Amino acid sequence: MNQQELRTKVYKVKRQVRDTIGTDLSHEFRSTQVYQAYCGLCGEAQVAYEEGELDDQAVTLLEEYAQKVIAVWQGGST
């Protein structure tokens, strides 16, 4: 995949999380380790894209953490 296709996948992942959990998050949820890791991966993906270095591995890891965030939001565990 090229950079634009990978970036599109990142946007889809982020949109899925936002559509599922919303934007009005409690401090407690924003403080969870899994949510903090997800946010960090979002930032890393953005920087990698800007530097032309976004790859499948980074996108896959972001997708995995997005699913963990959604699971925690829905009352599951990671």
pLDDT of residue 71: 95
Q: Long-range contacts made by residues 62-67, C-beta under 8 angstroms, separation at least 24?
A: 62/10, 62/13, 62/38, 63/9, 63/13, 65/34, 65/37, 65/38, 65/41, 66/13, 66/14, 66/16, 66/17, 66/38
Q: Where are the domains of the chain?
A: 3-73
Residue 10 pLDDT exceeds 80: yes
- Condensed to tens digits (0 to 9), the pLDDT of residues 21-50 reads 998 899 999 999 999 999 999 999 999 999
pLDDT of residue 1: 86
pLDDT of residue 77: 56
